[in-house]
Amino acid sequence: MDYQDFTLAQLRNDGLPYFELSQPIGELHSFFEHSNYSHAAITQQGVLVGCVPNYVLTPYEEDVQIAELIDELENFYVLDTAYWLDALEKVLLAEADIIPVVDEQRTFLGYYLLEDLEVFLARTPFLTESGTVIVVSVLKEAYSISQLTQLVEGNNARVLGVIQTADHGARIEITLKVITESMSALLTELRRYDYRIESAIYEDLFAQQLKERSAYFEKFLNP
C-alpha cells in the first residue's frame, strides 16, 4: 500500500474473519494457527461481543461452541469515527496487534492492524522532522504539559512533540522533541523547574561540566 496519501478508513481490513458465538472453537484454532494475530473478534448476529485472545483456546475441544469462551472475552474496540491516535492508544493498552472497528451500534465492520496504525505515527513531525530528543522526569503532581511547553517555547525553542513515555509511581517520564539553538540554556531552565534530565541526544553541557569537575577533584584528592 502507498502510505503517502491515505485515511484511517482506507486502512480498515475487511478481509480478516470474525466469529459468531455459535461457531465451533476449531475455526478459531485454524484462524490463529494461520495468522498469528493476538485476538479475534467475536460477534452475535454481527454485533461485537468481545475479543478472544489466542492463548485461551488450548483446554477446549474443537467442536465446542465459541459461546463457551464468553468469560474469556476482552472488551476493546474502536469506533469507525475515531481518530488514528485513539485507535493506536486502544490497541496498545489492550496489548494486542489487531483491534475491531465497529459503528455506534457495535456492528462489526472490520479490523485495524497495529502495524498499519504505526504508519500514522511515523508520518508525524515528531518522527519526520530533525530535532533534539530530550527525556525528562518530574513529580506526577507537579507535571503540567502547558507549563512544560511554555518553558520550551520561552527559551526560543519549537516543540515538535510531547509524549508521556513512562510512569514510575511518584514520578513520570516525558519525552520531548524540540528544535533549539541553545540546548544548554533550555536544559538549565528545565532543571530550575524541577525537571530531571534523564537523557538528551545532544551534549548536555551542564552534565559534562559536572563530570569534568568530578574528574578534577578526584585527581586533586588522589595525586
Give pLDDT, residue 206.
Answer: 45
DSSP state of 66: G
DSSP state of 57: -
In this structure, are 147 and 99 located in the same domain? no
CATH number for 91? 3.10.580.10
- CA atoms of 39 and 54, how far apart (whole Å): 6
Pairing of strands 78-79, 98-102: parallel
Of 72 and 217, the structure prediction assigns the larger pLDDT to 72
Last residue of a domain, one of 75, 98, 120: 120
- Residue pointed to by grid coordinates 538528551: 200
Instruction: Give the confidence band of 184 by pLDDT, cuts at 50, 70, 90.
Output: confident
For the chain, what is the domain count? 2
Q: What is the mean pLDDT of residues 118-135?
A: 81
Last residue of a domain, one of 120, 142, 177: 120
- Under a CB-based contact definition with an 8 Å cutoff, are residues 198 and 136 in contact? yes
Helix (H) or strand (E) holding 214: helix 205-221
Last residue of a domain, one of 75, 101, 120: 120
In this structure, are 213 and 175 located in the same domain? yes
- CA atoms of 34 and 17, how far apart (whole Å): 12
Residue 219 pLDDT greater than 60, yes or no: no
In this structure, are 72 and 168 located in the same domain? no
Helix (H/G/I), strand (E/B), else coil: 162: strand
Pairing of strands 98-102, 108-113: antiparallel
In this structure, are 18 and 67 located in the same domain? yes
Residue 160 CB partners (closer than 8 Å, separation 6+): 125, 126, 129, 131, 177, 178, 179
Of 118 and 40, the structure prediction assigns the larger pLDDT to 40
Give pLDDT, residue 124.
Answer: 77
Instruction: Give the range of the structural domain holding residue 186, as residue numbers without chain letter.
Output: 125-221
- pTM of the full structure: 0.66
Whether residue 150 is contained in a domain is answered as yes
DSSP state of 10: G
Give pLDDT, residue 9.
Answer: 82
Give pLDDT, residue 2.
Answer: 44
- CA atoms of 150 and 131, how far apart (whole Å): 18
